[in-house]
Amino acid sequence: MKRAYLLFTLLIGCIYIHAAIYNVKDFGAKADGKTIDSPAINRAIEAAAEAGGGTVYLPAGEYACYSIRLKSNIHLYLEQGACILAAFPGKEEGYDSAEPNEHNKYQDFGHSHWKNSLIWGIGLENITISGPGLIYGKGLTREESRLPGVGNKAISLKECRNVTLKDLSMLHCGHFALLATGVDHLTILNLKVDTNRDGFDIDCCRNVRISQCTVNSPWDDAIVLKASYGLGRFQDTENVTISDCYVSGYDKGSVLDGTWQLDEPQAPDHGYRTGRIKLGTESSGGFRNIAITNCIFEHCRGLALETVDGGHLEDIVINNITMRNIVNAPIFLRLGARMRSPEGTPVGTMKRILISNINVWNADSRYASIISGVPGACIEDVTFRNIHLYYKGGYSEEDGKRIPPEQEKVYPEPWMFGTIPAKGFYIRHARNITFDGIRFHFEQPDGRPLFVTDDAENIEYYNTPKE
């Protein structure tokens, strides 16, 4: 009995030590919105790490910061009213410099570096960032941050394990609210993100759970899975679920403040609002075992599955999606040959995809839905089931005679094809495509055919009108 009691006491003691709380104000943080508090926060993190781990606690207040450097076994907790404010870089101080990466040319600068961020961690494990507080990236740029001291990401993680992000709000977060590269076992739960470029970029990660999140990102993608060459190797993004999320393209900041504005019609790429869920564009590696369920798209681009750099995109299930006011193709599947990968990489594949129970209202009729491979590389084994599409319509029979350009190497977006000759689905370089229970509605008459196929084999229709 005494031995059992001793073991119990030791166990409780170990738990207590690991769960020790480190208040950043005890390490010199002022929380006045003016003093740069990142040195104090980093001292608290280092103290917790040296003790084997613990909770770094930020009470209410505004913490102006440059780079916060995470450590293993750390829980960074933001209390209600706490704000980590990204400070503007000064002449002699700023964010950590971007580390060298010899593989820069295979993806954008932002995907190739991690240290030039507000909060970053490399090669860590057992990390949590949570709480009802706010991360405000006011001093971050949404462009490349090649200049010393300039930061362009709110949270950046590379080759970490067992990471949880929970209950936070994030505002104006630079190029990425979150860049996670090579992370294994990542949970993102109940985040509210309202940002001026990408929301979550999940790159070369595995075992990822994203749920109950709101992401408003009018100027870039809301939740995007990537498989870049940023780690210097081909690595898939796999075993990912995205569920019960809301993505949108309202004006930046207007979702968090509750005004829901629509006064800025165009994204910087002139493609109108973004704010979608997407796989791609970076696709040197592949995408496998992905499930997207119970999500809402509003005032944004449609669902996009893209592999254009040699990756294999396969075994994808998408179910129970509602879309409203979609500014381009509601469904866009593109197997391309941009080939932003090491020389000799072959064109990728796209296959074994199920898309079901989709309701789309007020989609832009110029593009219809698009399934397009390239000559010699077909999209294959795709099933569309129980899909209702409400289009604006208004195009002519002459529009139905158009032949879209191939655009094999062009950055993939629906507008690269111009007005689509179909008013429902355009299918090119594809085989074994099944349509079951598809319904179309048009606000105005449209003279184009419902389906147009080109270099397409074994296209099957069940409970679906073809004319």
Paired with 376 in beta bridges are none
pLDDT of residue 337: 98
Q: 173-186: b or e for each residue (b if 16 or more CB lie within 10 Å)? A: bbbbbbbbbbbbbb
Is the pTM above the cut of 0.85? yes
pLDDT of residue 376: 97
pLDDT of residue 270: 66
Nearest C-alpha neighbor of 58 from the set 72, 69, 45, 71: 45
Segment 456-464 mean pLDDT = 98
pLDDT of residue 220: 96
335 and 367 in contact (C-beta within 8 Å)?
Answer: no
The token pair that represents 118 in the structure block? 């507000």
48 and 56 in contact (C-beta within 8 Å)?
Answer: yes
Segment 67-85 mean pLDDT = 99
SS3 90: coil
CA torsion, ordered 25, 30, 31, 33, to nearest 10 deg: -160
What Rg value do the Cα atoms of the chain yield, rounded?
24
pLDDT of residue 1: 45
pLDDT of residue 17: 42
Backbone angles phi, psi at 175, to 5 degrees: -60, -40
Regarding the domain with residue range 120-462, which homologous superfamily does it belong to in the CATH classification?
Single-stranded right-handed beta-helix, Pectin lyase-like (2.160.20.10)
Model confidence at 7, pLDDT cuts 50, 70, 90, reads very low
Segment 169-179 mean pLDDT = 98
Q: What is the pLDDT of residues 119-160, one digit of tens each?
A: 999 999 999 999 999 999 999 999 887 788 999 999 999 999
Segment 36-52 mean pLDDT = 99
Q: What is the pLDDT of residues 345-381, one digit of tens each?
A: 999 999 999 999 999 999 999 999 999 999 999 999 9
- pLDDT of 2 over the 70 cut: no
Q: What is the pLDDT of residues 425-443, one digit of tens each?
A: 999 999 999 999 999 999 9
Query: What is the rounded CA–CA span in Å between residue 396 and residue 172?
Result: 42
Segment 55-79 mean pLDDT = 99
pLDDT of residue 8: 36
- Give the CA count within 13 Å in the CB-facing half-sphere of 152: 21
pLDDT of residue 146: 79
Paired with 333 in beta bridges are 305, 371
Distances (CA, A) of 16 to 21, 41, 77: 9, 21, 17
Share of the chain above pLDDT 70, in %: 96
279 and 227 in contact (C-beta within 8 Å)?
Answer: no
pLDDT of residue 144: 80
Q: What is the pLDDT of residues 225-257, one digit of tens each?
A: 999 999 999 999 999 999 999 999 999 999 999
The token pair that represents 453 in the structure block? 């196929």
